Structure 1
Amino acid sequence: MIKIGADQINHQLGSPYYLLIGSDPYLQHYALTQLRNTFGQKGFDEQLTFTIDNQTDWSAIYDSCQALNLFSNNTLIFLDFGDNALNTALITKLNTLSEVLTPDIALIISLNKITKTQENATWYKALADKLVIVNCTTPDTLQLPQWIKNHLQIKKMDIEPQAIELLCYYYEGNLLALTQIIEQLLLLYPNHKITYEQVENNINDSAVFSPYHWIDAMVANKSKRAMHILQQLRMNDIEPLILMRIFQRELILIINLKKSSEKNSLKQAFDKFKVWQNKRALYTSYLNRNDIKNLFTTLAKLTEIEIGVKHDSQLRIWDNLNSLMMQFMGLNQC
């Protein structure tokens, strides 16, 4: 079994089995396009795509494998699970599929994620020796600079380090727009080292964020990033009430952690409220910076905003969310 990033796919094109993990549309499209082209060049002229859901006719998938033996064609089968998670029924279907695969069949499976427990399934173990797992998850804020550097290296482009930071800021979460602006820069400034000013003159703010990016930025006390994310969420017409609900859950969790840590260790508090290991350092830093009084003040302000939400204009709602954000980070404490 080999694990690679989607940008490394061209170095691992010799296997018959591929598992694309992650839902980034650009990385999924890029990896799948490279694989389809390569298999086509190898004589896999019949390429079948099956969208997997509760209505999928698995007998048609099995029949396509059996038809292969009759006509001696090379066939590529692509199973697209979309947003559907693996369950017991689907795992059973995949187990059966793994039993009818022949050397004339290539298989690509696209999944949002797979758990450690699911990796113990018969189909996974049966394919493991020849399986290439391709990471198609959108790079996070820490991974994105290196991803851009790798992409620029492939394109044989030279860009100032500060320009890479600018690209990260404006295109986080949107690799499609990011790769498009890089192509545009390549056309505008061929055979030149691209400067910060040249990037700045051509960019649009195309970053794509979820409410959870906003929460993480606030907990990390990254005020500039938090303001940028909130601005983008507003531009993308996210419902303010959704933000308030997510914020409320986070705030109550932190209040409970703070209260629990007064009687027990932080580790015990984290264990009690099932905080992920990779978030514990972030929460520890926040809890050390803020007192319980400010947390309750923020909760009271959130309640006040929610009560008045039916009467406030859209502009005032976003102004209130911005003020609430600052309160949460301790930047305008009452």
Structure 2
Amino acid sequence: MIKIYANQLNTKLEQDNSWRYFLTVGNDPYLQDIAQTKITETLRLRGFSEQTVFIIDNQTNWDSIYENSRSMSLFSNLTLIILQFSDHSLNASTAKKLDELSKSISPDVSLLICLPQMTKSQESAHWVKTLSDHLLIISCNTPDINQLPNWINQQLQNHDLTIEKQGIELLCYFYEGNLLALSQMIEQLKLLYPDGKISYNQLESNLEDCAIFTPFHLIDAMLMSKAKRVVHILQQLKTNDTVPLILLRTIQRELIQLINLKKDAAKSNLKVAYDNYKVWQNRRNIITPYLNKTSLEQLYKNLNTLTELEIALKSDYEAPIWENLTSLCLQF
């Protein structure tokens, strides 16, 4: 079993064509589509001309999956079985089904399992271990703001394009979280500038803000006091019709946890508090500096302001909720 990133898939398949089982894991639909397409095309060239797709949910006919997975190809084509999982459809019940599937799959059958997410415990499941000798796991998560420049540079290299560092930063700003739009823009730039050299001004004149954010991006930017990023995220959330109440609830949950962490840390230490509330390690690295510089009094003040915003939102439809949200997030 080997784990790779989606942008390493082409090279890995060129180096070794013996992989029979594939697992694409991640929340980015563009990367999932690219990876799945490359895998199916590669297997088709290897003789797997038949493809059967199953959508995994409560109504899935697993007997049909088992029947297809045990077929031999003495007088028929090699078969690729694709299992498409949705959020939360990989559970204890489906894991048992996969255990059974992995034990009896025919050597004439290849398997592609597509998951939006996978926990550490799920990675240690019996079916994963059974398939592991011929299993390639491809991470299809959206690159974060720190990973995105490298991803862009690789795409530019693939298209024989050269853009200065400030141009890369501009692409990150306008297309973070939206790899589909970013890829389309890179292809457009290749058509507009066939010589491959693109100046900052040329680039800027062709771009539009297509960044996609979640409320969790906003929380992280607030905790790290990145004012420009906070404003940009709020602007895009508003543009994409995010419900303000959802933002308020997300910030409220974060504030309550911060208050609890601050209070518990005063009684013991912050590590114990983190463990008690099961805070992920990558979140700890963001939260710790914030808690060190923020008083409990300020946290309660922010919570009171948030409550006032919610009351205004529910009682006054003319209230400038986005302006008020921006003010709160910037003073966080």
Given the two structures, how large is their TM-score scaled by the length of structure 2? 0.94
The corresponding residue for 1:246 is: 250
Amino-acid identity (%): 53
Contact between 1:7 and 1:151, CA under 8 Å: does it hold in 2? Answer: no
Match of 1:230 among 213, 234, 240: 234
The corresponding residue for 1:331 is: none
Amino acid at match of 2:3: K
Write the deviation string for residues 75-95 of structure 1: whole angstroms up to 9, x where unpaired: 111110022342121111111
Contact between 1:20 and 1:135, CA under 8 Å: does it hold in 2? Answer: yes
The alpha-carbon deviation at position 315 of structure 1 amounts to 6.0
Write the deviation string for residues 145-200 of structure 1: whole angstroms up to 9, x where unpaired: 11111222222221111111111111111100010001011111112322221221
Contact between 1:52 and 1:82, CA under 8 Å: does it hold in 2? Answer: yes
Query: Counterparts of 1:164-179 in structure 2 under 5 Å?
Result: 164-179=168-183
Contact between 1:85 and 1:112, CA under 8 Å: does it hold in 2? Answer: no
Aligned length: 328
The corresponding residue for 1:21 is: 25
Query: Counterparts of 1:60-75 in structure 2 under 5 Å?
Result: 60-69=64-73, 71-75=75-79
Write the deviation string for residues 210-237 of structure 1: whole angstroms up to 9, x where unpaired: 1011001000111111110011111111
Higher alpha-carbon deviation: 261-270 or 86-95: 261-270
Higher alpha-carbon deviation: 161-170 or 107-116: 107-116
Matched, 1:216 2:220: yes
Match of 2:167 among 160, 163, 169: 163
| Distance of 1:65 and 1:71 partners within structure 2 | 16
| Distance of 2:231 and 2:280 partners within structure 1 | 25
| Distance of 2:7 and 2:123 partners within structure 1 | 24
Given the two structures, how large is their TM-score scaled by the length of structure 1? 0.93
Matched, 1:12 2:12: yes
Structure 2 stretches lacking a partner, 5+ long:
none
The corresponding residue for 1:59 is: 63
Write the deviation string for residues 233-269 of structure 1: whole angstroms up to 9, x where unpaired: 1111111111101111111111222233333322233
Higher alpha-carbon deviation: 61-70 or 152-161: 61-70
Higher alpha-carbon deviation: 7-16 or 215-224: 7-16
Match of 2:261 among 257, 262, 265: 257
The corresponding residue for 2:209 is: 205
Relative distance call for 1:122 and 1:196 in structure 2 (3 A) is same
| Distance of 2:260 and 2:285 partners within structure 1 | 17
Contact between 1:47 and 1:77, CA under 8 Å: does it hold in 2? Answer: yes
The corresponding residue for 1:123 is: 127
Relative distance call for 1:257 and 1:5 in structure 2 (3 A) is same
SS, match of residue 310 in structure 1? helix
Amino acid at match of 1:316: P
The corresponding residue for 1:332 is: none
The alpha-carbon deviation at position 273 of structure 1 amounts to 2.7
CA RMSD of aligned residues (A): 1.6
The alpha-carbon deviation at position 113 of structure 1 amounts to 2.2
The corresponding residue for 2:117 is: 113
Contact between 1:85 and 1:113, CA under 8 Å: does it hold in 2? Answer: no
Contact between 1:21 and 1:114, CA under 8 Å: does it hold in 2? Answer: yes
Relative distance call for 1:325 and 1:185 in structure 2 (3 A) is same
The corresponding residue for 2:2 is: 2
Query: Counterparts of 1:130-209 in structure 2 under 5 Å?
Result: 130-209=134-213
Contact between 1:22 and 1:111, CA under 8 Å: does it hold in 2? Answer: yes
Match of 1:324 among 319, 328, 331: 328
The corresponding residue for 1:273 is: 277
The alpha-carbon deviation at position 202 of structure 1 amounts to 0.8
The alpha-carbon deviation at position 21 of structure 1 amounts to 0.6
Contact between 2:99 and 2:126, CA under 8 Å: does it hold in 1? Answer: yes
The corresponding residue for 1:48 is: 52
Contact between 2:160 and 2:196, CA under 8 Å: does it hold in 1? Answer: no
Structure 1 stretches lacking a partner, 5+ long:
329-334
| Distance of 1:145 and 1:315 partners within structure 2 | 39
